[in-house]
Chains A and B, each alone.
Chain A
Amino acid sequence: MDSLLGLLRATGQLLSLQPLLLITVGISVGILAGAMPGVSPSMGVALMVPFTYAMDPSMALVYLAAIYLAANYGGAITAIMINTPGTPSAVVTSFDGHPLCVQGRAREALGLALVASFVGGAFGTLILMLFAAPLASVALKFWPAEYFSLAVLGLSTIASMGGENALKSAMSAALGLLVCTVGMDPVLGVNRFTFGNVNLFDGFEFIPMLIGLLALSEIFVEVEEFDFRPQKVEDEAGSKWPGFLYYWKLRAAMLRASIIGTIVGIFPGAGATIAAFISYDMEKRISKTPERFGKGIPEGVVAGEAADSASVGGALVPMLTLGIPGSATAAVLMGALMIHDLQPGPELFVKNPDVIYKLYASLFIGNTVMLILGIWGSKLWINVTRVRKQLLFPLIFAFAMIGSYAVNSSMWDVMVCLGFGIVGYILKRYNYPLPPFVLGMVLGEMAEMNLRRAVMMAGPTAVFQRPISVTMLAVAALSFVIPVISARRKRAAKAKGSVAA
């Protein structure tokens, strides 16, 4: 009861001009930061930290949390409109979001992403508020063995991602994993494939790699096709902003994705990207029309986007209850709190409960503001489809270069981006799907590091000694095997059928 009163009081305090203005600015900054490839949510928040010095600590947190929340949605906009995810986690949104856009249903896609973000964000916050403490103790039960198994579970999603060609999709994932081995091995400090180049000590920077692989390769392919007729202009009659009923039909999918997003978000180091992939995979498996995934299905957009946004609430759970950041962005938030002399962790609930309530309230209010700004903004973003390709491609190219440079202010990263653009182009030309590559990149280090940690701690059978870990590995094995078996059965049935005929 106390907490409800606290929340209501905090909400009341935030519903005045200055806090609302701050939240609105935060949401706008967040959406822009998220949409810009190269500015990740954590960078977006970090860039704004110095602006909060003069603010009251709780207002600073409110402002930064608003940016965090919105940045995870912003990534979807560019993912849908130009197939260039602004944030790593928005990769999943582009699977179905961009096909929808190409079909002239951009309004639907944008609306879906926005509503799913709203639902996911609200759900994650609700869980954070209600169950933070018990969830935190669950997070601590995840040892390296479990993290390894979670990564394997994530990797098993490529089995359903590959479409017709499972082998090519596995190859692509293997390449993604291989790329992760470049750099100084963090367990023993041995240099792998660095050739003495300091720039390679940490491996390839993730964001330039991602931009090159997805955005540049797309441009290269399009330029090669040289089909510069204007994009399918929005068919005013055919595509409308969807109404409430349209979204209501997707409520189950949104809820499932939100649950997965929150849960995965809780584990420090797992994060939004893995959440989005797992959620998308599950949605596809339980769907009656799995073949429509990847070709523009509303459930696909919703699955990634809701999970992505729900992970924000999840990532705040260990930060508030244990003082351990659940994501890179949560780490920046923690730093900002410390600058304001607030010690993140469970004592915050005792010493500064008002700050916590204001954070909760601001997440709810921020979510609503995001919905309103998003509805208004979508009308602007939709115009991207009207820009001629002759202009659009150079613009995307320029953004890709700037975005890659911005991560570390380094020309090396620009080269990395170009290099992976070429790699992506070659893979595309030979019909190797790119999403498994991205998944390999995301999960490679997590899988490797945790396997090695687990083995160092408990010997070679470490990952089979713990029940949660074994369960996840079993699920992963099943999800690899089942599609193969069912495909074989189908083929056998077909063969039989044709013989009978």
Chain B
Amino acid sequence: MSIKRLFALALTAALLFALGTGAAAAAAAAAADFPTKPIRIINYVAPGGIMDITTRKFTEIAAKYTKAVFVVENRTGAGGLVGMEYVLSQPADGYTIFAPTGSVVIQVVSTKSNVDKYIWGFDWVSMLMMDPECIITNSKLKINTWEDVVADAKAKGGKQIWVGPSTGGNDHLMAMKVWDKADISAVWIPFESGPAAMAALMGGQGVAYVGNPADIMGRPDLKIAAVSSSARLPQFPDAPTFKELGIAGLDEESMWRGFCVKKGTPPEAVKWLQDLVEKVAADPEWRKFFEDQGIEVVSYTTEKFTSLVKKDLEDALKYFTQFGIL
């Protein structure tokens, strides 16, 4: 290819690009006072991750209710700290939203990072859903009901193996709570990801996996031995709750997902987002997508969301200290 042709090609590409972005910006400006330009949602997981799917679904449904343009960006690393760091470095104008899950808050604690910066540097404005935590076992193994797990744990005296994603994450914290309340002990073997740990459970490496109800969908060998919910989930009627199994205080452990913005974001931008979340939360397609997985769709706003974040912080600090992670 001659240099001239190469140059011409590059120029055309640049021109097309400029045209494209220009048009998008103009369309957004015509829509409302806020937003006047595309809004970026910063994800801390890789493409294909749970929160990535959630945010992309959100932008898809939101398109029904607003003309605003959303761009989903993945800034992965350090269990969310890299993404948070990035959002904190952007102006607090509501055009950069962070998409956290409960796991991010716990990550801040387990890495001994600055809570004032990474947690209270944000306004926790919209909680989207709560995914109940549950204990999953392999029905092909001998030990597969909650009673089996407890009996086996007592027999093995602390050598029982539980598998799950990273140490010091949301699911590890849940395991600690369960061990504490059921008065058993076990070893936590961390894997690179939830699915990798589930493969380990399927292969019989451990007896229990901590995750969410949707994890057993499409994996017929796995079953829910106990779920953290005040009543049985309609989508998983066979899964007993902790309360039924005689364990108190584990009725509302969940992996929540939501949106937060940098502290100091103008109230009208926050209000706009909260209104949009409310509309999306009422959307039948949105509800069905998540409710099929046993997830409770909500649209909590700042006050309630903040109090839940506070509880997560306290729990993480308490149990990580008790189990010697901190």
Which A positions have Cβ atoms within 8 angstroms of B? 42-43, 45-47, 49-50, 53, 139-144, 184, 186-189, 191, 198-199, 201-202, 268-269, 318, 322-325, 328, 331-336, 338-339, 341, 343-348, 380, 383, 391, 408-410, 449, 453, 456-457
Contact B218 A348 (CB under 8 A): yes
Q: Which residue of A lies closest to B188 (CB)?
A: A456
Q: Give a binary string over B70-94; 1 marks a CB under 8 Å from any A CB, 0 the rest.
A: 0011111111011001000000000
Q: Is the CB–CB distance between A324 and B161 below 8 Å?
A: no
**Which residues of B have CB within 8 Å of A344?**
218
Pick from B77, B189, B218: contact of A199, CB below 8 A. Answer: B77
Given contacts A49-B56, A184-B78, A383-B1, contact A341 B195 (CB under 8 A): no
The reply to whether B325 and A410 form a contact with Cβ atoms under 8 Å apart is no
Contacts of A141 in B (CB 8 A): 203
Task: Kindly supply a per-residue 1/0 record for chain B positions 95-113, scoring 1 wherever the CB is within 8 Å of any chain A CB and 0 otherwise.
Answer: 0000000000000001101
- Chain A residues lying within 8 Å of B289, measured Cβ to Cβ, are 341
Contact in complex: A202, B47 (CB < 8 Å): no
Bound Cα distance A343, B214 (Å): 10
Interface SS majority for chain A? helix
Given A199-B77, A408-B77; A186-B49 close (CB under 8 Å): no
CB atoms of B199 and A324 under 8 A apart: yes
* Min CB–CB distance A473 → chain B (angstroms): 19
Contact B189 A457 (CB under 8 A): yes
Neighbour of B75 across the interface among A332, A408, A453, CB < 8 A: A408
Kindly identify which residue among A144, A333, A336 contacts B205, using a CB–CB cutoff of 8 Å: A144
Given the known interface contacts A186-B166, A189-B111, the answer about A332 and B218 at a Cβ–Cβ threshold of 8 Å is no
Query: Are A339 and B56 neighbours in the complex by a CB distance under 8 Å?
Result: yes
CB of A332 to closest CB in B, whole Å: 4
Cβ–Cβ contact A409 & B219, under 8 A: no
Number of interface residues of B (CB under 8 A): 50
Pairs across A and B, CB under 8 Å, 28 listed: A42-B47, A45-B47, A49-B48, A50-B72, A140-B202, A184-B111, A188-B167, A189-B166, A189-B168, A198-B82, A198-B85, A201-B111, A202-B77, A268-B196, A318-B199, A323-B195, A324-B202, A333-B48, A335-B47, A335-B52, A339-B56, A341-B289, A346-B218, A347-B218, A347-B220, A408-B75, A409-B73, A457-B205
B167-A380 in contact (CB<8A): no
Residue on B nearest A338 in the bound complex, by CB:
B53
- Contact, CB under 8 Å: B217 / A345: yes
In the complex formed, the residue of B with least CB distance to A346 is B220
* Central interface residue in A49, A139, A338, by most chain B CB within 10 Å: A338
User: Cβ of B57 and Cβ of A339 under 8 Å apart?
Assistant: yes
Given A187-B190, A457-B189, also A322-B202 (CB < 8 A): yes
In the complex, the answer to whether B218 meets A323 with C-beta atoms within 8 Å is yes
B214 to chain A, nearest CB (A): 9
Contact A410 B75 (CB under 8 A): yes
User: Contact at A335–B53, with CB atoms within 8 Å?
Assistant: yes
- Docked Cα-Cα span, A141 to B78, in Å, equals 31
CB-CB < 8 A to B53: which residues of A?
335, 338-339
Residue interface mask B44-74, A partner, CB < 8 A = 1: 0011110011001100100000000000111
Nearest B residue to A348 by beta-carbon distance? Answer: B218
User: How far, in Å, is A208 (CB) from chain B's closest CB?
Assistant: 13
Q: Take A46-B47, A198-B78, A456-B189 as given contacts and tell me if A269 and B196 are in contact as well, using a CB distance cutoff of 8 Å.
A: yes
Give, as a whole number of angstroms, the nearest-CB distance from A316 to chain B. 14
- Interface pair A201/B78, CB less than 8 Å apart: yes
Cα A478 to Cα B23 in complex, Å, equals 64
B199 touches A336 (CB 8 A): no
Interface centre among B46, B47, B79, B161 (most CB of A within 10 A): B47
Q: Which residue of A lies closest to B218 (CB)?
A: A345
B199–A322 touching, CB < 8 Å: yes
Residues of A within 8 A of B3 (CB): 391
For residue B7, give the distance in angstroms from its CB to the closest CB of chain A: 11
Chain A residues with CB under 8 A of B200:
143
- Smallest Cβ-Cβ distance to A453: which chain B residue: B189
Question: Chain B's nearest CB lies how many Å from the CB of A68?
Answer: 12
CA distance A18 to B1 in the complex (A): 31
Judge whether A199 and B82 touch: CB under 8 Å.
Answer: yes
Q: Type the 1/0 row for B257-290, where 1 means its CB is closer than 8 Å to any CB of A.
A: 0000000000000000000000000000000010
Contacts of A456 in B (CB 8 A): 187, 189
CB-CB under 8 A from B111, the residues of chain A are 184, 189, 191, 201
Complex: how many Å from CA A198 to CA B166? 17
Q: Which of A142, A186, A331, A332 contacts B195 (CB 8 A)?
A: A331
A201 to B118, CA, bound (A): 15
Residues in chain A near residue B56, CB distance under 8 A: 49-50, 339
CA distance A343 to B53 in the complex (A): 13
Q: Please tell me if the beta carbons of B192 and A269 are within 8 angstroms of each other in the complex.
A: yes
Is B227 engaged at the interface, CB distance under 8 Å to the other chain? Answer: no
Chain B residues within an 8 Å CB radius of A269? 192, 196
Q: Is B198 an interface residue (CB 8 A)?
A: yes
Bound form: Cα–Cα A199–B1 in Å:
40
**CA–CA, A45 to B74, complex, Å?**
14
Contact partners of B72 in chain A: CB under 8 A? 50
* Cross-chain contact of A143 among B82, B110, B205 (Cβ < 8 A): B205
Closest B residue to A143 by CB, please name it.
B205
Contacts of A191 in B (CB 8 A): 111
Within 8 A of A (CB), among B149-178: 161, 166-168
Within 8 A of A (CB), among B12-39: none
Q: Do B217 and A343 touch across chains, with their CB atoms under 8 A apart?
A: yes
A290 to chain B, nearest CB (A): 35
- The chain B residue sitting closest to A395, CB to CB, is B6
Residues of B close to A457: CB separation below 8 A? 161, 187, 189, 205
The reply to whether A189 and B199 form a contact with Cβ atoms under 8 Å apart is no
Could you tell me the distance between the alpha carbons of A49 and B204 in the complex, rounded to whole angstroms? 34
What 12 additional pairs, Cβ within 8 angstroms, besides A186-B190, A186-B192, A409-B75?
A140-B204, A189-B111, A189-B168, A198-B82, A268-B199, A322-B202, A324-B202, A334-B48, A339-B57, A345-B219, A346-B220, A453-B191
B81 touches A324 (CB 8 A): no
Task: Establish whether residues A189 and B325, one from each chain, have CB atoms under 8 Å apart when the complex forms.
Answer: yes
Please state if A202 and B78 are interface contacts (CB–CB under 8 Å): yes
